[in-house]
Amino acid sequence: MVDFGVGILGTGKYLPDKILTNGDLEKMVDTSDEWIVRRTGMKKRHLLDDNTPSYMMGAEAARLAIEDASLTPMDIDLIIVSTETPDYLTPSMSCLIQKDINAENAAAFDVNAACTGFVYALTIARQFIQTGYYNHILIVANEGLSRIVDWESRNTCVLFGDAAGAVVLGKVDKEYGIRESYLASFGNLGHNLTIPCCYISEEDRQKRGAGKERVIWQDGSEVFTFAVRSMAECVKTVVEKANITIEDVDLIIPHQANLRIINGAAKRLGVEDDKISVILQETGNISSASVPVALDMENKKGRLKKGDTVVLVAFGGGLTCGSILLTWGK
């Protein structure tokens, strides 16, 4: 029986300076600000410059999270990066970030659970600290979706942006930190959201235009239905596991894919809007970075109070979904 909790010691984020507005998209594809706001809630997204490697965002977010935790990069024992858009398959994004921030004592590996990746990485990291194997783990969600978007397809190009979010996980007093987590995968639904890499099936080739084998493709309405149902179920599961009620939850930080998905899940749960963190109007869908970027925004603007019950919840490619319930201890 451990006599400590495992909690978030620091948070950080990085959003590139370059902004792409709905008005800019109107000039690129057959869309409108009115359609994008009404169907998604999004207004703008941040984009990386073509010449900047994506891991630079994660390195910057990592530095801020380590500083927020009052630690130095040399204190980090392990780096886990969640990404579905790595710069290289090897070296991993975690090794690229390790080098950039000089975290010389850290082991490093990547996790790919698409938009749910941060929840998966946090759950993995928690085990290492609980067992006493490591003391300080840096978790980065690093996503450069603009690199794999078909900029001629209005079905997808209006949705995505680039960003990184990071947290440092470590030991906290036993009444704080992660209390429950839940992970699930539905490989049989994987064909609904795909980004080919070293191989592409004939079916996936047909779904894309010629010369566009590496772009993201999704069946929006199938993913939408999965998203609303799974987000609500994931929240309920950790709330029940923690033996509390939904009324005891102070803030839900969901994956930011579509305001209608967030509202749909909130309605199923009977949760008021003011208990849900929404940032997608500023960022678009930034995949697994959305939960840690929103967490950092809430942390830095003082919305999180010591002792608050917070639920992190996400869904995404795989298909995957997951949730974490924690007591905020900073």
Asked if 234 is an active-site residue, the reply is: no
Asked if 95 is an active-site residue, the reply is: no
Nearest residue to ligand UT7, scored by beta-carbon proximity = 220
Which residues 6+ apart lie within 8 Å of 283 measured at CB?
Answer: 15, 44, 45, 46, 161, 163, 256, 290, 293
Q: At what angle do helices 55-68 and 93-101 cross, to 10 degrees?
A: 60
Contact between 39 and ligand UT7 by CB under 6 A: the answer reads: yes
Minimal distance, residue 289 CB to ligand UT7, in Å: 11
Contact between 115 and ligand UT7 by CB under 6 A: the answer reads: yes
Contact between 155 and ligand UT7 by CB under 6 A: the answer reads: yes
Asked if 191 is an active-site residue, the reply is: no
Which residues 6+ apart lie within 8 Å of 267 measured at CB?
Answer: none
Minimal distance, residue 39 CB to ligand UT7, in Å: 4
Binding mask 262-301 for ligand UT7 (x = CB under 6 A): -----------------------x----------------
Beta bridge partners of 110: 81
Using alpha carbons, select from 101, 68, 95, 93 the residue that is nearest to residue 167.
68
Contact between 174 and ligand UT7 by CB under 6 A: the answer reads: no
Task: Assign 11 to helix, strand or coil.
Answer: strand
Cβ atoms of residues 82 and 110 within 8 Å:
yes
Provide the token pair at 9: 């010691």
Please, which residue, 194 or 218, has the CB nearer to ligand UT7?
Answer: 218
Q: How far is residue 44's CA from residue 58's CA, in Å, rounded to a whole number? A: 21
Contact between 218 and ligand UT7 by CB under 6 A: the answer reads: yes
User: For ligand UT7, which residue of 35, 99, 107, 278 counts as binding (CB under 6 A)?
Assistant: 35
Residue positions annotated with a catalytic role:
115, 255, 285
Task: List contacts with ligand UT7 (CB under 6 A).
Answer: 31, 35-36, 39-40, 115, 154-155, 158, 193, 218, 220-221, 223-224, 227, 257-258, 261, 285, 316
